[in-house]
A and B are shown apart, each in its own frame.
Chain A
Amino acid sequence: MRTGVFHENFASEERLWDSPTSRTWMAAFVLSLFTLPLWGSDYVLAMACIVGIHVIAALGLNLTTGNAGLISLSHGAFIGVGCYTVAWLGKQGVPFYIALPVAGFVAAFLGVIVGLPSLRVKGLYLAIATLAAHFILSFAFREWDAVTGGVSGTSIPRANLFGFELVGDRRNFYLIFVCAFAMAVAARNLARTHIGRAFVAVRDRDISAEILGVHLLRTKLTAFAIGAFYAGVAGGLLGYFYGSITPDYFVLTLSVFYLAAVIVGGLGTVLGSVLGAVFMTFVPEGLRLLASVSSQAFPGVAGLLLPMGQVVFGLLIIVFLIFEPHGLAAIWARVRRSFHLWPFKT
C-alpha cells in the first residue's frame, strides 16, 4: 500500500514517472507491446496498428480541444492531408522517414490557417468555422485529381527502410508503435512546460490569460498546429498501413469519431486520449463480432451493423457525458487510487 510519493528536489517532482512502481509498470507495458509481434495473432496485430493510429490522432485532438479548449471539427481533414501528402511524396520517391514529418508539417501549416479565425471568434463560432474548413478540405480531396486521385482515391507506396519494405502488419506495427509512444511522451512533456500551461490558461479564461502575459493568438495557433501535426502523422501512418485510400474515408464522421474518443477517454489527459482511442476502436469491433455470432440465429443482422453501430456510438457519448464527464481517465484514476489505498476505502 502506497500512501504517496516523497520528492526531495524539484527535478524529481518534474519527472513524468515519479515513483519506482510507476516506472516498473511503464517498462513492463512498453516491453509487452514491443514484443507483441512475437506472441500476438495476426488479428491482434492488425488491431494494434489501427489502435496506434487512432491514439496518435486522438493525442493531437486532445491537445487542441482538451488542453486548449478549441473545439476542432476539422481533425479528420488534417488526417487526410497527412495521408495524401505521404502518398504524393511516396510517388516521388521520398522515403518514409522524411515523408512522415513533412506530412505532419503540411498538416500543421493548414492547421495554422484553419486556426486563423480564432483571431476574431471563439467558442462555438470557431467550431463551426473549423467545420467549414473541413468541408473545403474534403472538396479538395475529391477534386484535386493530380495530387489526390480524385474520387477514386490513390495508392500509397509502402514505407521503405533502405530496401526493407514495411509491408504487412508486423513491420508496420513497429513504426506505428514507436511513433505513438514518442508522440505520447511528447504530449506529456508539452503539458509540463509553459506552452502546456498557456493552453490550459487559454481554455479556462482567455482574457485572464492575456492579462497574465499569454500571447493569445500565438498560443491558439500553436494548439491548432500541434494538433494538426499529430493528425498529419497519423494520416501518413494510415496511408502506409492501408496502402490505398479514398476521400470518403475522411468525412465529418471521422472528426466526430475522434472528438467522441477524446471526450469518452478524458479531455486534457494523455491517458484519456489512449483509453478513448482504444475504447472507440474496440466498440465497433465488438459489435462486428456480436453481429457475426448472432447472424446464425438472426440472418440479416449484418445489414443492421452500420446503423446500429451509430446508435451505440451515440448512446455511449451521451451516457459518458451524463455519468462520467471526465471520461475513462477519471475512472482509471479512481480505480488506481483504491488499489493504492487498499485495504482502506478511498
Chain B
Amino acid sequence: MSEFLEYSLLGLLSGGVMALIALSFVLIYKGTGVVNFAVGEVMMLGAYIYYAGAVTFGLPPWVAFALALAVIGVLAIAIERAVLRPLSGQPAVAVLMATIGMASIVHGGVEAVWGGDTLSPPTLLPRTPLLLGEVLIPGTVLGNFAVAAVLIGGFLAFFRYSKTGIALRATASDPVTAATLGININYAQRLTWLLSGLVGTFAGVLIASSAGLSPLLASAALSVFAAIILGGLDSILGAIVASLLIGWVESVSAGYLGGKSRDVVPYVVVLAILVVKPYGMFGTRTIERL
C-alpha cells in the first residue's frame, strides 16, 4: 500500500512540472490558435542558456536563471514577429509545420553548440528529501512541484482577475472583436508568446537542475502532448489536471509494469479517452458553422 502511495505521490509531483510544460503549450494555443510543437525545444534552450550562464560564465545561479528568462523572452518575441506573423493567414498544417521547423532549428543549434552529452547545471532549489511516514520524496521533486504550483496559481489568477489577462483571453477567443474594443491584438499575441517562453524556461531549468541536461530534454515534452490532448487543447485547468493525471499514470505504471511502460501507457490512455470525450476533459466543444 505504501508502495502505491509512493508511486502516486511521485507521479503527482512530477505531474506538476509537466503541468508547466502543458501550460506553455496551452497559453499559445489559447492565445493565438497555434499548435506549438517547439515547446520542448524552447524549454531545452532555456535550460542550456541557464547552464551557459551558470557554468560557462560563472554567474550565480539566480542571475543565470534571469539571463535565461531574458534571452528566451526576446527569442519568443522574435519568433512571433519573424515566423508566425507572415504565416497568419495560412492553414493549420502550415503553422504546425513551421513550429516543427523551428523545433528542428533549435534542436540542431543546441546540439551543434553544446554537443550531445549530459551536463549538470547547478541546482536552484534545496535537495533535502522529505520523509512522510514510509514514503521518501526527493527534495527536488517537491521543490519543482512547489514552484510549478505557485506559477500556475499565479497564471490562473492573472487570467481571471487582471485586465491584461482578460485582454489576452478576449484576443484568444475573437481577435477581430477584441481589436474593435480597443485591445492591441499584436501586443496581446506577442505577450502570449513571451509568457509561454518564460513558463517553458522555468520548466526546463527545473527539470535540468534536477535530472541533468541533454538534448533529450526536449522529448520530455512529448508525453506532455498526451496530457494536453487529454485535458483539452485550450483549457488551462484541463492542462493542469491532465498533467497530474498523466504523471500519476506514468509513475504507477512504471512502478508496477516496469519502466518501459512509461513510454506507451500515457498514449493508450489518451486514445481511449479520445473515443469517449473527443475534446478532452475540459476542452471547449467547437461548433462549426457553415
Chain A residues within CB distance 8 Å of chain B: 65, 69, 71, 116-117, 120-121, 123-125, 127-129, 131-133, 135-136, 138-139, 142-143, 205, 207-208, 252, 256, 259-260, 263, 267, 303-304, 306-318, 321-322, 325
Contact = CB atoms under 8 A, between A and B. Distances in A.
B97 A263 contact: yes
30 contacts: A65-B93, A69-B93, A71-B92, A123-B92, A124-B35, A125-B229, A128-B228, A131-B225, A133-B267, A135-B267, A136-B267, A139-B263, A142-B260, A207-B288, A259-B100, A304-B112, A306-B108, A306-B111, A307-B107, A307-B111, A309-B108, A311-B108, A311-B112, A314-B104, A317-B104, A318-B101, A318-B102, A318-B105, A321-B97, A322-B87
B33 to A, nearest CB: 10
Given A125-B274, A139-B260, A315-B105, 7 more contacts: A121-B278, A128-B229, A129-B229, A132-B267, A263-B94, A263-B97, A310-B108
A128 B225 contact: yes
Given A121-B279, A125-B278, A321-B87, A311 B105 contact: yes
Given A125-B274, A129-B270, A314 B103 contact: yes
A197 B290 CA distance: 20
Contact of A129 (B98, B109, B222, B274): B274
A132 B271 contact: yes
* Interface size range on B against A: 35 or more
Interface in B233-290: 233, 260, 263-264, 267-268, 270-271, 274-275, 278-279, 288, 290
Interface in B169-197: none
B218 to A, nearest CB: 11
**A contact patch SS:** helix
A316 B97 CA distance: 11
Interface of B: 35, 83, 86-87, 90, 92-94, 96-98, 100-112, 115, 222, 225-226, 228-229, 233, 260, 263-264, 267-268, 270-271, 274-275, 278-279, 288, 290
A260 B97 contact: yes
Contacts of A306: 108, 111
Contacts of B264: 135-136, 139
A124 B100 CA distance: 14
Contacts of B274: 117, 120-121, 125, 129
Contact of B290 (A123, A205, A263): A205
A263 B105 contact: no
Nearest to A138: B263
Contacts of A69: 93
A314 to B, nearest CB: 3
B92 A124 contact: yes
Nearest to B108: A310
Contacts of B101: 260, 313-318, 321
Contacts of A128: 225, 228-229, 270
Contacts of B109: 307, 311
Contacts of A125: 229, 233, 274, 278-279
Contacts of A205: 290
B228, B274, B288 — most chain A CB neighbours (10 Å): B274
B279 A314 contact: no
Closest 3 CB pairs of A and B: A310-B108, A314-B104, A317-B101
Contacts of A127: 35, 96
A263 B115 CA distance: 30
B28 to A, nearest CB: 12
Contact of B275 (A117, A139, A263, A321): A117
Contacts of A252: 222
A252 B279 CA distance: 24
Contacts of A259: 97, 100
Contacts of B86: 322
A314 B290 contact: no
A331 to B, nearest CB: 17
A116 B275 CA distance: 9
Contacts of A207: 288, 290
A138, A205, A309, A313 — most chain B CB neighbours (10 Å): A313
A128, A143, A205, A308 — most chain B CB neighbours (10 Å): A128
Contacts of B102: 314, 318
Contacts of A317: 97-98, 100-101, 104
Nearest to A260: B97
A322 B92 CA distance: 13
B260 A310 contact: no
B96 A310 contact: no
A128 B105 CA distance: 21
A317 B93 CA distance: 12
Contacts of B98: 317-318, 321-322
Contacts of A131: 222, 225
Contacts of A316: 101
Contact of A311 (B83, B104, B263, B267): B104
A118 to B, nearest CB: 10
Given A208-B290, A267-B93, A307 B100 contact: no
Given A117-B275, A132-B226, A135-B263, A256 B108 contact: no
B224 to A, nearest CB: 11
B83 A132 contact: no
